[in-house]
Structure 1
């Protein structure tokens, strides 16, 4: 009899999972020219991957009815069919209609990577089952830790190694080679199980193998899988929408989610047990703090949110591990886990954006986690207090009521200034410490979690929802806020998307578009720079601030990706468009695709201001994108690019683009003037001809660009990693 060859099965599972989570961001990167950088794009991609994972696990469960050698041959055939679709290339389908992105994006990813992803995704449960079939094999469930460690390694390897070092074509080729290597490893595993006819028998540590799990157990598996999956995606949306829109931020929640499986399913239970004990406290405290921090962008709030996700996921997955069945039911267990993961993803990525006007899915999932997280240790510890049941019940109800009102008071005292003072901080610390006592009972713990979520911001957000002052689309969450001085703001998450002043200055350009900004100088002097009959295109409508630079004889066209943004101008929340450019053409859709469809020489000036908060739509900063802009501009036309960003240095990127494309370029930085609602901004002006830039340079303190750095960005290669401003992350 051959050995169990644990090393081989561990390597196969690790390698397959590494490939799965390497291809996920790779395909998302391929799709950037069509999708841009909205957070929901990644959530849609994750939904497809979870659905494919579910299909793969269902297939693994189905073929478990056959003899091991037949299972092996079937799976090798499936892997071979998946190989026929390689190297991975983006599916060629028509662009989405406005409003149907939530359906179109999953369809694109499914067609692009579906067959190969399906084939590899089946391997985690299938290979574990084959391993367990050997009489000398130990517990196969610990191999699942290797699966998630491989997933984490693949996820981190993409932004740190693959994207900075390799163009997309090479990434796809190397992935196909890795796929071939996994196929050979699977063939070796099949060969190692020749002569073994049946799966493993029941083990002493599990229930009898011939007793199938009951419906209650399966429902609990489903819930324990769905909540962490949904919480991972909701944390991503919550962070990018309500805390801070940092580049690559989506990697952190997903990476921690994967690591939670590695800890929860490890053979050494020490770390998992410690985190299980800490989880109820962290869930209660960090859940309340995360709600309190919503809309108050800072690094501490981001850390609180990811710690909450990680510890809660470890606790729920550890409980899942303790409920694992005998290896004879292993594939059923993983199938239900995959179904739970897909269910959580479906709720967060598809249902929530359609049903909610804010990231309500996040506090709802925190509340669901409170109903599931293990409380055994704390219930025993707090249960030592000798209090009569009726007295305890009354004390808990009164305590919840008092703490809820204390939470509400703290939030109301800090809502206007949005800063936590020393007194309020001390009150909050006492409040959260006292709330721990509620862990003595499950019902009081869930009720206390609910009270904190509502009191520390939930009630205020509910009021905003009921007032209809907030809208949610596939591309973001927007709210209109009126300031005490009458100014009206459009908020995109935590980012100010535009400001309209009140009174006589209502039509005065504000924010990044003031008269001393690069775009302000260019548009105000367009007549002398490019001619009095200029045709001007603007990519990114916002609240329409730039419309008030329109002059008689000019023809303006705006390009806006999100129909929801357009509606703010159409219904009169902001009046820049209706007052200054009521007859301007407005094109709804991805600007790059729409510009490609226009005839050559369509504009004398083209403004690119489509950056969503601090997210970078790379597809607007590539050589191919610049070629599109060049085509629609006249020979003496001017391209204006807004590059203001807290986290990424875009000037050397654009400098390289200009150098390789033969464009002249110069840059202007304007200072903030908060008394007039003006922000500091950086604009770059580019032209294929030197003459218009010479004329523009006389209007302000324009300077030459900093030296270019790195290779030119293309649709096939782009990486923000070398240009990150690391100190601004702190």
Structure 2
């Protein structure tokens, strides 16, 4: 018969063991949630520092992937060199240092303004100093806690990889929560404070996890470092490739659907959510989707992709979107399923995650950084689809001879060189860091069009309706045609100031159509973030607006939120902000801080003209609320498009004018536009707060 002391000890052991799984799963979930929460939060903090440039997001991705790799290497080092007790002390000490030195998250001192050159290095240093240590500490927790769980004596300790599913569920929910819940409801300062409290809770959870492992009554597992099984180099390379392909495909699919299928805000959410979901599924103890099903489905989807590429059936943008997202999901399921199938024992867990992370980093670097330099189109997408087929076990099990391997490698090199050469010679597409610009002609040959994604940025008439070539000064078309809202607003402001304007700042170049609204004696200067757009607009073989209407125009390259800040205060008569397409809009150009900047640069009777046409977002109420919060007056037109105008490439734009109270907006605006009385129901936007989801919802809601 057991003594009371023995029975009490057994009860304590049972309670401890019953707590192991929920404590570890909850802590890993929280760690992943914080890991994905800090990325958009801090990138949003940095956007105004670099004018909201897309380079901020790309640099953030490179930085966070690199630090994630460093965190996995740190976890691998802790597990391989120290007992759980000592590793826990080191890691908990690191987290205490983070609490003492780096929280709450914010822009580090000394980074008030970026340099004129070397912005990329400056931005990396800013990320490293401001959030490098917190992100590093959190990034190590996934593999580290799984390795500790393997030593708890729990019934599932032999195969702790199912906890990776809990980690990716946390990442998945954080991904969805930020744009849909966190950003629309919380200011950045509140987000940073909440993240700090979450980090404190994470510290308590990690301490509890270490205690549950170290406190187990039997064995010496908690006093010795974990000795990993020897892994051959070929297997590590296999892990790397299986992680490389879906990581690169994630970036390529996102670029492809936003370039060739549909343009829309937050379009990156769906591919990334599906990517994370594959990890959740394949690392479950009993996956919901069998690996064999995914292998068969991949063949069907590739066949469907080939049919679409060859025969171009009328799927519509919705059908194409589903096809490409399905290709990403199933290809990632195949590659990640192979990773799950080929995972080592728990003793080599941290090394496995380290090689996975390295493959993910290399895949992202290839698709996000190298591909835009090598290809004018999104050519990396079909390349990675083919690479996804090579991830199948039927291919990876092949063992070619040295001669066969050399021949295959030679063919791959020749093919890659031919593809790069072909892409470099293309003239219908121009790819830059900011996206793919397509130059095309309508089927009837009447118009040449510049588009970015599925958004038209300008058009020029080449032939009359009878087929004869157009000669003379080009006619401004699309949103800039004479009689449209933009042209009328400029004319009205000009009339209110005696018939002429002095200095004008125009943000966004497009095809240069807007330059044909300038008049003799006016000083127009264009601000453009993408040098490739300037090269396209000034190339007379492509578009002739600037050469015909304003051949001596000055261009300022860079994001206007920064470059416009260098203009002399009180020097401008008019600022035209023409940067809001149907893609992810530059929010920083529509905030209260942006309006305050515009007003500083304008003369007392100056005006801001905002082109706010957008298929996906309703921005008029944002202008109204933000202007009212700054004590300004706003006027907005409601465009009416006829079928005849659309056929003639005259696209009536929605335009807002913002002025100081009492300033005359001019005769046309006062007669046909609506003055916005009061702030309205929408909350004003600022660098600290912007509700993009609300703008989308208002656009979708019945009028």
Q: What TM-score range do you get, normalising by the shorter chain?
A: 0.7 to 0.9
| Equivalent residue, structure 1, for 2:140 | 122
| Equivalent residue, structure 1, for 2:569 | 600
| Equivalent residue, structure 2, for 1:467 | 426
Q: SS in structure 1 opposite 2:654?
A: strand
Q: Structure 2 matches for 1:530-679, cutoff 5 A?
A: 530-531=497-498, 532-572=500-540, 573-672=542-641, 673-679=645-651
| Equivalent residue, structure 2, for 1:15 | 30
Partner Cα distance (2:195, 2:49) in 1? 22
Q: How has the CA–CA distance of structure 1 residues 535 and 289 changed in structure 2, closer, same or farther, with 3 Å as cutoff?
A: farther
| Equivalent residue, structure 2, for 1:3 | 17
Partner Cα distance (2:259, 2:275) in 1? 19
Report deviation, 1:297: 7.1
Q: Structure 2 matches for 1:664-703, cutoff 5 A?
A: 664-672=633-641, 673-697=645-669, 701-703=672-674
Candidates 41, 46, 50, aligned match of 1:26? 41
Could you report, residue by residue, the CA deviation over 1:572-607 in whole angstroms, capped at 9, with x for unpaired residues?
A: 232222222222321111111122222221211110
Q: Structure 2 matches for 1:57-136, cutoff 5 A?
A: 57-64=72-79, 65-83=81-99, 84-91=101-108, 92=111, 94-95=113-114, 106-136=124-154
Is the contact made by 1:603 and 1:633 (CA closer than 8 Å) also made in structure 2?
yes
Is the contact made by 2:581 and 2:614 (CA closer than 8 Å) also made in structure 1?
no
Q: How has the CA–CA distance of structure 1 residues 353 and 524 changed in structure 2, closer, same or farther, with 3 Å as cutoff?
A: same
Is the contact made by 1:637 and 1:692 (CA closer than 8 Å) also made in structure 2?
no
Q: SS in structure 2 opposite 1:193?
A: helix
Q: SS in structure 1 opposite 2:264?
A: coil
Report deviation, 1:183: 0.7
Partner Cα distance (2:42, 2:326) in 1? 28
Report deviation, 1:285: 3.5
Is the contact made by 1:488 and 1:501 (CA closer than 8 Å) also made in structure 2?
yes
| Equivalent residue, structure 2, for 1:250 | 268
Partner Cα distance (1:554, 1:545) in 2? 16
Could you report, residue by residue, the CA deviation over 1:377-396 in whole angstroms, capped at 9, with x for unpaired residues?
A: xx9xxxxxxxxxxxxxxxxx
Could you report, residue by residue, the CA deviation over 1:136-167 in whole angstroms, capped at 9, with x for unpaired residues?
A: 34121111110101111111111121111100
Q: How has the CA–CA distance of structure 1 residues 588 and 250 changed in structure 2, closer, same or farther, with 3 Å as cutoff?
A: same
Could you report, residue by residue, the CA deviation over 1:671-705 in whole angstroms, capped at 9, with x for unpaired residues?
A: 3313431113100111104342253425x632234
> What TM-score comes out, normalization by structure 2 length?
0.85
| Equivalent residue, structure 1, for 2:291 | 273
Could you report, residue by residue, the CA deviation over 1:184-216 in whole angstroms, capped at 9, with x for unpaired residues?
A: 111112222225675599xxxxxx986412122
Could you report, residue by residue, the CA deviation over 1:477-534 in whole angstroms, capped at 9, with x for unpaired residues?
A: 1132244435322222222211122314652111111112221012234431223242
Report deviation, 1:3: 2.1
Candidates 436, 445, 452, aligned match of 1:477? 436
Alignment of 1:150 with 2:170, yes or no, is yes
Partner Cα distance (1:317, 1:462) in 2? 33
Could you report, residue by residue, the CA deviation over 1:55-107 in whole angstroms, capped at 9, with x for unpaired residues?
A: 00000001112111000001112222233212111352643658x76666555
Candidates 483, 486, 500, aligned match of 2:460? 500
Q: How has the CA–CA distance of structure 1 residues 155 and 608 changed in structure 2, closer, same or farther, with 3 Å as cutoff?
A: same
Is the contact made by 2:441 and 2:448 (CA closer than 8 Å) also made in structure 1?
yes
Q: Structure 2 matches for 1:9-408, cutoff 5 A?
A: 9-35=24-50, 41-64=56-79, 65-83=81-99, 84-91=101-108, 92=111, 94-95=113-114, 106-138=124-156, 139-194=159-214, 199=221, 211-273=229-291, 275-288=293-306, 298-374=317-393
Could you report, residue by residue, the CA deviation over 1:337-378 in whole angstroms, capped at 9, with x for unpaired residues?
A: 1111111111112111222212112111111001113459xx
Q: How has the CA–CA distance of structure 1 residues 495 and 533 changed in structure 2, closer, same or farther, with 3 Å as cutoff?
A: closer
Partner Cα distance (2:363, 2:227) in 1? 29
Task: State which drifts further: 72-81 or 167-176.
Answer: 72-81
Is the contact made by 1:500 and 1:506 (CA closer than 8 Å) also made in structure 2?
no
Task: State which drifts further: 701-710 or 553-562.
Answer: 701-710
Partner Cα distance (1:558, 1:601) in 2? 18
For structure 1, list consecutive stretches of 5 or more residues without a partner in the other structure.
202-207, 380-453
Could you report, residue by residue, the CA deviation over 1:164-184 in whole angstroms, capped at 9, with x for unpaired residues?
A: 110001001100110111011
Is the contact made by 1:287 and 1:366 (CA closer than 8 Å) also made in structure 2?
no
Partner Cα distance (2:654, 2:365) in 1? 40
Report deviation, 1:306: 1.4
Q: SS in structure 1 opposite 2:524?
A: strand
Give the superposed CA RMSD.
3.1
For structure 2, list consecutive stretches of 5 or more residues without a partner in the other structure.
1-12, 399-415, 463-469
Partner Cα distance (2:588, 2:428) in 1? 32
Q: SS in structure 2 opposite 1:187?
A: helix
Partner Cα distance (2:215, 2:501) in 1? 83
Partner Cα distance (2:58, 2:293) in 1? 27
Q: How has the CA–CA distance of structure 1 residues 210 and 636 changed in structure 2, closer, same or farther, with 3 Å as cutoff?
A: closer
Report deviation, 1:633: 1.1
Partner Cα distance (2:434, 2:228) in 1? 50
Q: How has the CA–CA distance of structure 1 residues 366 and 481 changed in structure 2, closer, same or farther, with 3 Å as cutoff?
A: same
Report deviation, 1:471: 1.5
Task: State which drifts further: 360-369 or 474-483.
Answer: 474-483
Is the contact made by 1:635 and 1:689 (CA closer than 8 Å) also made in structure 2?
no
Is the contact made by 1:282 and 1:308 (CA closer than 8 Å) also made in structure 2?
no
Task: State which drifts further: 4-13 or 260-269.
Answer: 4-13
Q: SS in structure 2 opposite 1:571?
A: coil
Q: SS in structure 2 opposite 1:467?
A: coil
Q: Structure 2 matches for 1:420-459, cutoff 5 A?
A: none
Q: SS in structure 2 opposite 1:607?
A: strand
Partner Cα distance (1:31, 1:286) in 2? 42
Q: How has the CA–CA distance of structure 1 residues 570 and 55 changed in structure 2, closer, same or farther, with 3 Å as cutoff?
A: same
Partner Cα distance (2:457, 2:518) in 1? 20
Q: SS in structure 2 opposite 1:234?
A: helix
